[in-house]
Amino acid sequence: MKKLNRILPGALLGLAATLSLGTTQAQDVFKIGYIYPSPAADVGWAHELDEGRRAVEEHFGDKVESVIVENIPDGPDAARIMNQMAAQGVDMMMLGSFGYMNDGLKTAKRYPDIDFIHASGYKTADNFGNFLTRNHESAYVAGMAAGYVTETGNIGMVASYAIPEVIGIINAFTLGAQSNNPDISVSIVWLNSWFDPSKAQESARSLIAQQSDVIFSIYQDTPSVVTVAEEEGVYVVNTSSDMKPYAPTHLLASMKVSWGDYFIEQVQASMDDSFTGGSFWGGMADNAVSVESISEDLSAEQRASLDETIKAISSGEFNPFTGPIIDQDGEELLAEGETLSDADLLSISWLVQGIETRLPK
């Protein structure tokens, strides 16, 4: 049976000793280190990363060994763990936070024989690749659902950081809502955190008090916002996992990600010495993103509209960022029929018309 070492949240003392477990195993066991920015609970970003790890173990069986460290903030702790894992002989690392990028790249250069895959970043090297999902695709569809059900016309968003990936999700969601409800107004609370349950709940309640009757929880790695929406009786959409159990009556939709196929492919490449530090950006066509648990409160006609859009995005017939698109200041950024390039989307730094909150400086 494969060996799995899990270091629990905050357990940094004695980490080097813990990571050394299993080093007497047969040399042909491929050891993979996983670092998560939050606890790998039953839902959320870290949970889905951990589901990708499970898929690797199910696929490769005893050929792989997992070393897992969770709930690690960006900065010195993460850098120290990377170096400890490298020193203890891992063959590959999965770095699960945007904020791990620079320290991860330094570690990759220091250990050229170890292959790295890094979540949400944009830098690469021969042994350092990155992976993203096209969450703007599922966000557009979930936004359509929000446009159908809102009665106040006000959508509230509890967002992590104002990085391009999050900005793209916010814009796509808003455009989806505006596709059937042009007068939508959006307010955002920026948390500047991936994991702050109490502040996320407080922010959700504040948005609801301001008449937001649909709440969007963006990269909050707990169901904290989702449970508040359920308690307050307003619709809610969340990212990363299906959180239906936490809002059985008011979950409007969940934007789910799936990393299993990508992780398996990259581990196999590393095992075969064919790994290259490229960029993966998986979408609906790759089964990397999906919209789950769509509310039965939508009419049959509304649901059919969502299904048609999912099909069009999956086939490449429709791009959520298709003009005309106007920004907050009234400037037309895309003319009718024009689409936003991947390069522009990866560096997006503007918000669409209808979003009242500005980007933080």
Write out pLDDT tens, residues 239-265.
Answer: 999 999 999 999 999 999 999 999 999
- Sorted by sequence, the CB contacts under 8 Å of residue 46 that are 6+ apart come out as 36, 37, 38, 39, 40, 70, 71, 96, 221
Which tens digits make up the pLDDT trace of 114-162?
A: 999 999 888 999 999 999 999 999 999 999 999 999 999 999 999 999 9
> Do 46 and 193 share a domain, yes or no?
no
Pair 149, 97 in one domain: no
Report pLDDT digits (tens) over 259-309.
999 999 999 999 999 999 999 999 999 999 999 999 999 999 999 999 999
Could you tell me which residue, 195 or 203, shows the higher pLDDT? 203
Number of domain units in the chain: 2
Q: For residue 3, is pLDDT > 50?
A: no
Question: Does the residue 279 lie in any domain?
Answer: no
Are 226 and 190 within one domain?
yes
Residue with tokens 């979540």: 119
Reply yes or no on whether the pLDDT at 10 is more than 70: no
Q: State the CATH number of the domain containing residue 52.
A: 3.40.50.2300
Identify whether 8 is part of a domain: no
SS3 content of the chain, % helix, strand, coil (to 5): 40, 20, 40
Least Cα distance to 235 among 326, 149, 126 occurs for 149
Q: Which of 133, 165, 193 is the last residue of a domain?
A: 133
DSSP letter assigned to residue 100: G
Band of the pLDDT at 41, cuts 50, 70, 90?
confident
Specify whether 115 is located in the same domain as 141: no
Q: Tell whether 218 and 244 lie within a shared domain.
A: yes
- CB-CB contact of 292 with 286 (8 Å): no
Same domain, 110 and 154: no
pLDDT surpasses 60 at 17:
no
Clarify whether residues 113 and 166 are in a common domain.
no
In-domain check, residue 275:
no
Contact 203, 221 (CB under 8 A): no
127, 156: one domain:
no
**What is the C-alpha to C-alpha distance for residues 207 and 340, in angstroms, rounded to an integer?**
30
274 falls within a domain = no
* Statement: residue 26 has pLDDT above 50: no
**Residues 317, 219 share a domain:** yes
User: Which pLDDT band holds residue 44 (cuts at 50, 70, 90)?
Assistant: confident
pLDDT score of 12 more than 60: no
Enclosing domain of residue 173 = 135-256+289-346
pLDDT (0 to 100) of residue 302: 98
Residue 44 · residue 197 · CB < 8 Å: no
* 356 within some domain: no
- Is residue 116 located within the same domain as residue 139? no
148/193 same-domain check = yes
> What pLDDT, on a 0 to 100 scale, did the predictor assign at position 221?
77
User: Element (H or E) spanning 235, and its range?
Assistant: strand 235-240
Contact 191/220 with Cβ under 8 angstroms? yes
Same domain, 165 and 245: yes
Q: What is the pTM of this model?
A: 0.86
Cα-only R_g, the chain: 21
Query: pLDDT for 217-242, tens place per residue?
Result: 999 878 999 999 999 999 999 999 99
Distance CA 149, CA 52 (A): 33
Last residue of some domain: 133, 166, 193? 133
Neighbour-count burial for 99-138, b at 16+ CB within 10 Å, e otherwise: bbbebbbebbeebeebbbbbbbbeebeebbbbbbbbbbbb
**Model pLDDT, residue 38:** 86
Residue 23 falls inside a structural domain: no
DSSP-assigned letter for residue 358: P
Query: How would residue 6 be classed by pLDDT, with cut points 50, 70 and 90?
Result: low
113, 133, 153 - which closes a domain:
133
In a domain, 181, yes or no: yes
Tell whether 214 is covered by a domain.
Answer: yes
